[in-house]
Chain A
Amino acid sequence: MINAVILNYVTFVYFASFMLYLLMMVMGKEVFGRLATGVTSLGLLGHSIAIILRWVESYQLGIGHAPLSNLYESLIFFSWTLVLLYLLIEWRTGNRSIGTFATPLAFLIMAYASFTNITSRIQPLVPALKSNWLLAHVITCFVGYAAFGIAFGLSIMYLLKRLENPNNEGLFLKLVPGSAILDELSYQMIVIGFILLTLGIITGAVWAHSAWGRYWGWDPKETWSLITWLVYAALLHSRMIRGWRGKKLAIFSIVGFCCVIFTYLGVNLVLSGLHSYAQS
């Protein structure tokens, strides 16, 4: 299980990059930021290699499915998409301060996967679910979740920025982009997340139709993903139709992300259903 060992190290690498981003924010020196970007990219590289190794290993064991099937694997993939998405945004916007809010999220998810009693073994998939829809469904859902996660980080940044005293020459928020940019970025992330969540629900429905003969069965996971979808739909409507901006939307987006977390973890841990991959 070399992949699990690599992933343990990756967890610490993300912690280090979080520290470097924090240092950059506190000291106000870009050099730490450049270092942090390097460390995060390195972490992502190791992370990707570990996922590929795990995939190869699953075929060697004769189980043969993409490493996206149990809670451990889904957490690992969630944090991978989060970091990848963040690095893309950093590259697009050239602003590193978002890293201070994205890397700790990735670190916490990795730590939850690696250092709690979640099994990291590769387990076979129920025969009914062996299908390539696994890839399509899980990837769209988790990229969507990751986009919502980034939007959540941006919303927190926005609220912190708003709380800040304008006379206060606080170093910490000096590098944070202006609130209009934060608002726009978080909106863009939510749009991406919303489209992907929709695609995730649809691919899930297609998969369920081919596996169980029905596309929607009011399974707790399905119900909660619908709730999350409706919350974000309401958010987008309030922005487009009512013209809500800024603080209201930031709070809305935080509420939405809480729904995402409940859909992802809460349903698996509290309620039982067909998406029971998180029980072990």
Chain B
Amino acid sequence: MEVEQGKPVSIPGGKAQFQVLQMDENLKGMMGPAVMISVKPEQGDEMKFWVFQQVEMLRKRFPEVMFRAPILDPSSFKPYTFFLGKLENRYYTGLQVARDPGVSLVWLGCFVMIGGFFVTFFTSHRRVWVRLSSSKGKTFISVAGRANKNPIGMERELEQVTSRLQNLFTGEGNKP
């Protein structure tokens, strides 16, 4: 008979159900194809044991363990003996489909954020005052500035301005 993993099937003519719990194309890498089945009689306890395809090979290779322990004995459920005829794997491909109509909004948000960074980090509010005052026939030029960001850069620029002014009006007083 043909059974599917995980689906309980009733035993022919019997008062029990069995299902394949686990399958392995090569158990432990050397024992060949095997399935673990569980048999559940109408009365009594459930039994679990392995059923092998290459029974004769295993009987020769592991005479001291095979069929001794109930879990390795295909005739554990008396009076039946189970045989594994053929193991077949069904292959399938899983495909996921995603639909995300709002994704363009997310990318737009990213662009806006990067743009915002450039505005906040690399521009600043700056105010510059220039005062001209005269005393004793001389004119004094004072330059002052205020910036909310990068005060060191502002200071450097103002220093440049004052030194340029100094070069322009050499001889006249100038205080930064």
Contact = CB atoms under 8 A, between A and B. Distances in A.
Contact of B113 (A180, A184, A198, A209): A198
A240 interface: yes
B88 to A, nearest CB: 28
A206 B100 CA distance: 13
Interface in B107-137: 107, 110, 113-114, 117, 120-121
Contacts of A215: 100, 103, 106
Contact of B114 (A191, A199, A206): A199
Interface residues of B, number: 16
Contacts of A130: none
Nearest to A202: B110
Given A184-B152, A215-B103, A240-B149, A198 B98 contact: no
B152 A209 contact: no
Interface residues of A, number: 16
Chain A facing B: main interface SS: helix
A261 interface: no
A205 to B, nearest CB: 8
Nearest to A213: B98
B121 A195 contact: yes
B167 interface: no
A195 B117 contact: yes
Contacts of B117: 194-195, 198
Nearest to B151: A184
B81 interface: no
B170 interface: no
A213 B121 contact: no
B5 to A, nearest CB: 28
A177 to B, nearest CB: 12
Residue of B96, B150, B152 with highest tally of chain A CB at under 10 A:
B152
A29 interface: no
Contact of A180 (B97, B100, B152): B152
Contact of A214 (B100, B110, B114, B121): B100
A125 B103 CA distance: 27
Interface string A9-24: 0000000000000000
A191 B121 contact: yes
Contacts of B149: 240
Best-surrounded residue of B96, B113, B121 (most CB of chain A within 10 A): B121
A206 B107 CA distance: 8
A248 to B, nearest CB: 18
B159 to A, nearest CB: 15
Interface of B: 96-98, 100, 103, 106-107, 110, 113-114, 117, 120-121, 149-150, 152
Given A195-B117, A195-B121, A198-B113, 12 more contacts: A181-B152, A184-B152, A194-B117, A199-B114, A202-B114, A205-B110, A209-B103, A213-B96, A213-B98, A213-B100, A214-B100, A240-B149
Interface of A: 180-181, 184, 191, 194-195, 198-199, 202, 205-206, 209, 213-215, 240
19 contacts: A181-B152, A184-B152, A191-B121, A195-B117, A195-B121, A198-B113, A198-B114, A199-B114, A202-B114, A205-B106, A205-B110, A213-B96, A213-B98, A213-B100, A214-B98, A214-B100, A215-B103, A215-B106, A240-B149
The 6 closest A-B pairs by CB, nearest first: A213-B98, A202-B110, A191-B121, A184-B152, A195-B117, A214-B98
